[in-house]
Amino acid sequence: MQKQRNMFYLLWLKNKLEEVNSMTFLFVLLLMASSCDLIQRKSDASEEDGRVPIARVDQTYLYRDELVGIVPPESSQEDSVARTEAYVDSWIHKQLLIRQAGRQIDINKAEVERKLLDYRYSLIAYEYQTAYIKQNLDTVVSTQEIEAYYQQHIDNFVLKQNIVRATFLKVPQSAPRTKKLKDLILSSKEKDLTELKSYCLSFAASYHLSDSTWMQFDDLVKNSPLTDIPDKVQFLKRTPYYETSDDTFLYFLKVDEYRISDSSSPLEFVREEITNIILNKRKVALAKQLEEEVFNKAKENEEFEIYGK
């Protein structure tokens, strides 16, 4: 009798494939057809409400309707199956861990439920706050705000590395006209700067031309002999221009400006960081504002009451 019920159930699932038209449901069918024992041990509740079990750990079931939203609508069939398999495998691992925990330690179920509720409420509140902040956040941070914050908190912006505004070229030994590069690098004429940029585009293995951008010195000269300089602070103080080479490349460095570690960072180097700090402060203020607005409105409408006061 049970075998006939199983066969009928599998035929029903097969017909369902035409409605679902999804490789995900095919994966469900394969999982269930591989074990009649799973069907035999379904709870009576699952038979009555028509829910389709996907997997089971002891008497805990994962149902097909619980997979809604796991796979994005635009996913390919292959990706759908992979995502579903991964989710089912993760669910089984977690259920087995929960089961083992129940065997090994005393679990205060009331405390667990309280924590789950706290987490649920926190998650809902977070999603609401995120939407509120996204809708109301002013993302424009003025130059005046940035400069004011920098001046007020300058002690927070101490350099951990040496930084420079500099020109650096790494050029193959075989490149043409390398003897002219020093003159081009040291020149302030617009035509020489244009020629230098054109040369770098054509022949340099890597390069950085000086502009308003500050860079960490070690990042600028990485993969070059300059990384082995023992005292970089003294080097920067005494060497505005430097050339060196190895077996393959020539290296050219001109330092226009530098700041050594443990000194105050220039504003331009931390401008983006300060912008993010200001925006984060605005987000915190908006979240607090939302919380107060909701509380005050509910209080005004007498929507809550505290007993015992």
Say what the pLDDT of residue 160 is. 93
Between 242 and 101, residue with greater pLDDT:
242
Using the predicted structure, report yes or no on whether residue 8 has a pLDDT greater than 90.
no
Please state, in angstroms and rounded to a whole number, the distance separating the CA atoms of residues 258 and 159.
11
Look-up: residue for tokens 């159930």? 9
Structure tokens at 126: 């977070």
Kindly report, residue by residue over 169-190, the tens digit of the pLDDT.
Answer: 999 999 999 999 999 999 999 9
Position 3 scores a pLDDT of: 40
Per-residue pLDDT of 118-141, as tens digits, reads 999 899 999 999 999 999 999 999
Q: Could you tell me if residue 251 is inside a domain? A: yes
Question: For residues 7 and 206, which has the higher predicted lDDT (pLDDT)?
Answer: 206
Is a pLDDT exceeding 90 seen at residue 108? no
Give SS3 for 96: helix
pLDDT at 50: 79
The pLDDT tens digits for 26-56 are: 333 333 333 333 333 344 444 446 789 989 9
Give 145 or 59, the one with higher predicted confidence: 145
Long-range contacts of 145-151 (CB under 8 A, 24+ apart): 145/278, 146/267, 146/271, 146/274, 146/275, 146/278, 147/267, 149/274, 149/277, 149/278, 150/267, 150/270, 150/274
**The token pair that represents 309 in the structure block:** 């006061």
Q: Domain span at residue 86?
A: 2-107
**What pLDDT, on a 0 to 100 scale, did the predictor assign at position 309?**
55
| 7 within domain boundaries | yes
- Worst-scoring range by mean pLDDT, 15-19, 161-165, 221-225, 234-238? 15-19
Q: Give the whole-angstrom CA distance, residue 156 versus residue 178.
A: 43
Examine the domain organization and report whether 180 and 251 are in the same domain: yes
Asked if 91 and 60 sit in the same domain, the reply is: yes
The helix/strand/coil state of 166 is: strand
Same domain, 228 and 196: yes
In a domain? residue 308:
no
- Which residues face 206 on adjacent strands? 170
Write down which residue in 41, 72, 107 finishes a domain. 107
Q: Give domain status of residue 172, yes or no.
A: yes
- Residue 110, CB half-sphere, CA atoms under 13 Å: how many? 0
- Alpha-helical runs (H) found in the chain: 2-20, 23-33, 36-40, 44-49, 77-104, 109-136, 143-152, 181-186, 190-203, 217-220, 232-238, 267-300
* Spatial distance between the Cα atoms of 46 and 176, rounded to a whole number of angstroms: 79
For the chain, report the end-to-end CA distance as a whole number of angstroms: 65
pLDDT of residue 44: 42
pTM value? 0.63
For residue 132, tell me if it sits in a domain.
Answer: yes
Is the model's pLDDT at 12 over the cut of 50? Answer: no
Same domain membership, residue 131 and residue 6: no
Q: Is residue 49 part of a domain?
A: yes
Q: How confident is the model at residue 261 (pLDDT cuts 50, 70, 90)?
A: very high
Is 255 within 8 Å of 168 (Cβ atoms)?
A: no
d(CA 158, CA 264): 5
Amino acid type, 10: L
Per-residue pLDDT, averaged over 241-260, amounts to 96
In whole angstroms, what is the distance from residue 300 CA to residue 290 CA? 15
What does the radius of gyration of the chain's CA atoms come to, in whole angstroms?
33
Claim to verify: residue 46 and residue 114 sit in the same structural domain: no
Scan for tokens 């089984």, then name that residue: 92
The number of distinct structural domains making up the chain is 3
- Asked if the model's pLDDT at residue 241 lies above 50, the reply is yes
DSSP strand pairing (53-57 vs 60-63): antiparallel
- Same domain, yes or no: 98 and 119: no
Same domain for 40 and 113?
no
Distance from the Cα of residue 203 to its chain's centroid: 37
Q: Are residues 94 and 236 in the same domain?
A: no
Q: Are 31 and 55 in contact (CB under 8 A)?
A: yes
CA distance linking residue 161 with residue 139, whole number of Å: 30
Return all residues near 66 (Cβ < 8 A) that are at least 6 apart: 54
Q: What is the DSSP letter of 236?
A: H
Average pLDDT, the chain: 84
